[in-house]
Amino acid sequence: MKRIFYYSVYFIFALSLILFILSVAAYYLFTFPLDSYKLHTSASVALDGIGFDVNDSALTFGIVSPGGTSLRKVSIVNNYKFPVRVKAISNGEIELLLKYPTITRIEPGENASIPVTFFAFDNSSYVNYSGSIEFLVLQPLLHEQMAQGIIAV
């Protein structure tokens, strides 16, 4: 009788360990980026002047007056055979002055234009702001893949 109890405990422990490992693997599978793009980001807040920068290797907003805005768009093409999610993450001193969609869904073969806006608030300091914005290309969520027949259960 004791032997059956111990085998049951071992079996439940092994099953729990396998389920834990599978759930960790599934978590990393759907949150680990397929690709990423990091762009240096900068803007200046000043009373006089206007500035443009057509640099395509950085996301620059030029000179913005207090209370003004500047918009740039980042183009991302989905070359995968399945839809992807693009997650934007910014950092640096410019981070709180940027507005952008956190998650953008892009269908296969589609070109998405993701808007990034710099807001120079009325009380913004007259300085240069810099930082970066990173675009992480992620797989679709599990329920989206099942609905589109990418994976079967």
Is 78 a residue whose pLDDT tops 60?
Answer: yes
Split at pLDDT 50, 70, 90, the class of 95 is very high
Q: What is the mean pLDDT of residues 30-40?
A: 85
Q: What is the mean pLDDT of residues 63-82?
A: 91
Q: What is the mean pLDDT of residues 34-52?
A: 83
Instruction: Look over the chain and give the mean of its residue pLDDT values, rounded to a whole number.
Output: 84
* Cα–Cα distance measured from residue 101 to residue 150, given in angstroms and rounded to the nearest whole number: 26
Q: What is the pLDDT of residue 72?
A: 92
Q: What is the pLDDT of residue 112?
A: 94
Is 115 a residue whose pLDDT tops 80?
Answer: yes
Structure confidence by residue, pLDDT tens digits, 79-91 = 998 889 999 999 9
Amino acid residing at 16: S
Q: What is the pLDDT of residue 33?
A: 84
99 vs 21 pLDDT, higher one: 99
CA of 46: how far to CAs of 51, 72, 78, 117, 122, in Å? 10, 19, 38, 17, 11
52 vs 135 pLDDT, higher one: 135
Q: What is the pLDDT of residue 29?
A: 65
* Cα–Cα distance measured from residue 65 to residue 119, given in angstroms and rounded to the nearest whole number: 10
